Structure 1
Amino acid sequence: MEYLTYRPSHELESLINLYWSLKVPKQESHSRQRIIPDGCIEMAFILGDDIKRFISDDEFILQPRAMVIGQIVEPFYIEPVGEVDTFAISFFPLGFSNLIDQSLDELVNKETPLDELFDPKIIRKLESDIIQADSTQERIAIMEAFLLERLKENKVIDQVVRTTVDAIYQSSGRVKIADIFGVDKGSRRRLERQFKRHIGLSPKQLGKVIRLQAALSLLLDIEPQSLTKIAYSSEYYDQSHFIKDFKEFTGITPKDFFRSDEMILSSKFYK
């Protein structure tokens, strides 16, 4: 498995977390992989064989070849049918909202074909250019040109939403929204609506995902730490609170995270 990450240009570093590529040779059988929330929206291009996305234990759909994966609030399974060759862009929570007018809560927990979000004619050319590119660096250059063109419309996002997202990240998901707005329920309701539109999640959901990210980073340290130490380092109330949130977003316990072959891909992403 070859998983590589790349930094965006200076012009896009406030919107894009990273670019990544993943290559896995064709095997007799691939194991299902559990995909878990990370707070980001991704635009992905499948360059290899198809990838199944399971919608039940034995039912699946094929992921679109060029798609946007919205915010995830519950884990799901994917399984390649052959060779894996994927190129993707991981956007910060507010990043993708700068590119489209559609409310992002409509994209949650699903893959949406790119030609449903942008001009199909433009997407056909973009997908063709990405497929024909000779390297990941060339694909990044193609994507940056596409994204910068979309940004010319200069979409304005509510400054309060930006400030709240910054506070959530700076506190690793530990800040309480009540501490920002106090008892002003009107402001909190407005923020909830703006978050759903521009991010796809509520402030509370985003905070829980970001705090889980911080805990996962500790969990994946070279020297494993005790669950109690991780829970308190991440400012959960106690170990049981940490395990409850972990299981809500991943579907398994922290201890099972290391034992499961289904988590190989997710552990690569988080590391």
Structure 2
Amino acid sequence: MPSLFSLTYYDPPPELARHVLALFHFEWDEPAIADRHPGALGQLVLFPYGSGHLHMGAEPAAIRGDAHMLAGFETAAPFTMDGPWHAIGASLSPLGWAALTGEPANTHFNRFIPAGSLIGPEINDFAADLNVRYRAGDLSGKQACDLLAQWIAPRLTEQRAQHERLIEYTFRWLGSSLNPDVDLLFAGLDYSRRQSERLVTRYFGLAPVALARKYRAVRAASLLAQPELTDEGEAEIASAFYDQPHMIREIRRYCGYTPTRLGGPGEPLFQAMLRMKNLERLKDFRRIG
């Protein structure tokens, strides 16, 4: 069966590596699309084609316009789109979200947000122009991603040095294992436990315990979505949960489905996004200290 969509990732320029985890170009040319978004980290995304709805509250929320942002979702977010649907985007680290928006992540969770309302009207003009050029065939997906990175770079603001260290340490803590020790996080931060919880929530959108729980489920689902699960990956998953029913419950809670490897169908785009480079980048932060 031919693939329904294409999803290509590009590394950001080295000077953006702390703020942008990956650039991506996405195409799905079906007329009607339904899937889920894991919402593990923030994004700035341009839609040359496609509009639809996010289904998280009592009423569907419209997704339409040239540029959107998301800070993250507590659980996987179901959405429907009228295709064709194309996207040019940047997956943002927590530092990248803060430096680009100046806003706490936790106050913007669980929704797609018109980008102009967060980062100013310049993004609307930029996105409208880029999307027109893309639709005309004047820009490839890679060229559009490069232009997006160039637009982002001069608009990143500096954060307090102590807060940057907190973000980087928390990111390393998250990547240290599938089930990181919360006490180890607090021991490595230069704040009281209460201050640490408040700041982690501000930059990551969730308090440390909830954050670790979500990432455990998303990363376990990511490993299970791989065509070949290594013995090391299988052992890591087994040690992170009490038993298989516990693992299935947690993945279903945070991802909305049972992994294909365990007998569930799984949405195709969601499966692909679980293999996103932004999750893979957690491996770069394994060592705490």
Q: How does 1:163-202 map to 2 (within 5 A)?
A: 163-169=169-175, 171-181=176-186, 187-202=192-207
Matched residues in 1 for 2:105 and 2:200: separation? Answer: 9
How far did residue 225 of structure 1 move? 8.2
Matched residues in 1 for 2:159 and 2:236: separation? Answer: 39
Structure 2 unaligned runs (5+)? Answer: 276-289
How far did residue 219 of structure 1 move? 0.8
Tell me if 1:156 matches 2:156.
Answer: no
Structure 1 unaligned runs (5+)? Answer: none
SS in 2 for 1:72: coil
Matched residues in 2 for 1:68 and 1:36: separation? Answer: 14
Q: Which amino acid aligns with 1:36?
A: P
Indicate if the aligned counterparts of 1:70 and 1:107 stay in contact, CA closer than 8 A: yes
How far did residue 234 of structure 1 move? 5.1
Indicate if the aligned counterparts of 1:75 and 1:251 stay in contact, CA closer than 8 A: yes
Q: Which amino acid aligns with 1:217?
A: S
How far did residue 68 of structure 1 move? 0.6
How far did residue 31 of structure 1 move? 4.5
Identity of aligned pairs, percent? Answer: 20
Task: Report the CA distance shift for 1:237/1:137 in structure 2 as closer, same or farther (over 3 A).
Answer: same
Matched residues in 1 for 2:95 and 2:210: separation? Answer: 14
Deviations 1:141-167 (CA, angstroms, capped at 9, x unpaired): 32222211112x322251234212212
Please give the TM-score of this superposition, normalised by the length of structure 2: 0.79
Task: Report the CA distance shift for 1:50/1:191 in structure 2 as closer, same or farther (over 3 A).
Answer: same
Q: Which amino acid aligns with 1:207?
A: A
Q: How does 1:33-44 map to 2 (within 5 A)?
A: 33-37=35-39, 39-44=40-45
- Could you say which residue in structure 2 is the equivalent of 1:264? 268
RMSD, aligned CA: 2.7
Q: Which amino acid aligns with 1:168?
A: L
- Could you say which residue in structure 2 is the equivalent of 1:15? 19
Task: Report the CA distance shift for 1:16/1:34 in structure 2 as closer, same or farther (over 3 A).
Answer: same
201, 215, 222: which one aligns with 2:220: 215
Tell me if 1:235 matches 2:240.
Answer: yes
- Could you say which residue in structure 1 is the equivalent of 2:279? none
Task: Report the CA distance shift for 1:53/1:154 in structure 2 as closer, same or farther (over 3 A).
Answer: same
Q: Which amino acid aligns with 1:201?
A: L
SS in 1 for 2:210: helix
Matched residues in 1 for 2:214 and 2:267: separation? Answer: 17
How far did residue 208 of structure 1 move? 2.1
Matched residues in 1 for 2:56 and 2:9: separation? Answer: 29
- Larger mean Cα displacement after TM superposition, 133-142 or 102-111: 133-142
